[in-house]
Structure 1
Amino acid sequence: MLLSVVDQHAISLGPLPADQLRRNTHQMAASLIACGVDPKRTLLFRQSDVPQIAQLSWILGSLQTTSKLARLPQYKEKQERFKKGDIPVGLLTYPLLQAADVLTFFGTTVPVGEDQSQHMNLLGGLAYAFNKTYQTDIFPIPKQLTRDSHARVRSLREPEKKMSKSSGGPRSRIEITDSRETIFDKCQKAQSDNAGKITYDKENRLAVSNLIDLYSAVAKIPISEIDFSDWTTLELKHSLAEIIDKKLSPIRQTFQDLEKSNEVSLCDKISYTRN
């Protein structure tokens, strides 16, 4: 498996100070290792260390139109932040670089959330267009790998949106480095309702259903087997915070240990030749 710390994607919404970008890259690598990624079995690298990715992205840009890129939902959503119309080009071309991330290594399967389905369609279309244009079969058409359950992790504050680090504010998400106190605070302030008895109803009670979904995912218990009939909303939030903290506690500790020891390294010698 290949995992990339995408430092070039990180500046798609605008530049970052070099020291902050280096720090963020190191912390992301430490986070992945803390979550269980074994660098001995996984190729973990920094995106910018493979210049062929950016080069392929430029070529793919010649096979795509700006109008199609501008119709992608994530572009439409994020462009709203730029009230003056000063939208960075990197936001528009983000999917091209994303496609190059996969095609540079001749990827065949991409594990992603359901929100990436349209980007995966774009990726497949670009692979097909390249092969047809240059009369080759060099790029396979990558397949999307998405779990049926919990394919979308929703925001704590706006459950109609996905949980994301790039939008929604810090209270909308749980980070693996969050302290126990922070986790409880975020869960307690998560959006819910005042309908009384807890019920799972995504159509009419999305906020409460989102909390139940999160509990089910972290506890690894099917929703049908969770007895929340006697819970209050406060008890649901407390139980959710408790189980999240229990899950993240060893990850958080490993991350802190890696940060202190500075024993995080990224592969800098990468072969991208197709077998």
Structure 2
Amino acid sequence: MLQEPRERQQPAGASGDERAESSGPLAPEPGTPLRSSRRGLGGVPPVEMKKRNKIQPCLSKPAFASLLRFHQFHPFLCAADFKNTASFYGSDKFDLPYGIRTSAEYFRLALSKLQSCDLFDEFDNVPCKKCVVVGNGGVLKNKTLGEKIDSYDVIIRMNNGPILGHEEEVGRRTTFRLFYPESVFSDPNHNDPNTTVILTAFKPLDLKWLWELLTGGKININGFWKKPALNLIYKPYQIRILDPFIIRTAAYELLHFPKVFPKNQVVHRKTLVLLRDDPRTS
């Protein structure tokens, strides 16, 4: 179940369009101490000071609801408050891909060039969405599930798994597409202006790569496991950056990865590749 953060409540005395209603807890002001309770952290993480569309939560809880430790969670980082969000979730104590500790400046640069961190379009207020994750395996071949896949409200795809030429098997629509520099489309024929693409950063170079592409800088391809895309077919309004807290939660709480890796960097990189490609993270 995907849920958009509620609007921030305006001060008392505001009237007309200046007042925004909110039925949920408010995000704390920057610097406000977070309260704790027996159930863990209270309140909600800070969200960027901007008007957001309201999406009411589903009355029936999905199967994975018990895995979510917070009342509200916004999956994408916002330029105005990503450091506060990282502090709230403890991501400032971890390096990539689990946090921002040594990469905060790269996050700041990349986020400064994006135009939005919203989850859905401002006019999208469907309260309870059906979601499907479409992998890139050959299991879909000749299954003619394209129409069924397109019937879902939210369609999530991975990396550069193609649609063109495979519509009957995999459908035509894409709501979200996760990617990293070595796996993103570079052919404009694959661009859908209605798709939101989500950078999953595994290393600081991934953020630097995005910033260089968005600013027209020269791309340094050193440090990537294969040549990254040298042009970006998506516009800044389509791009989001995934909160590393999601990757950390998937690794530690769902996949039960060890919290201390061997110093051998080859082993470390292989582990990250497994996390990236493991179908259980889809």
Higher fraction of helix = 1
Q: TM-score, normalised by structure 2?
A: 0.24
Flag the structure with larger Rg.
1
More RCO (CA 8 Å, sep 6+): 1
Q: TM-score, normalised by structure 1?
A: 0.24
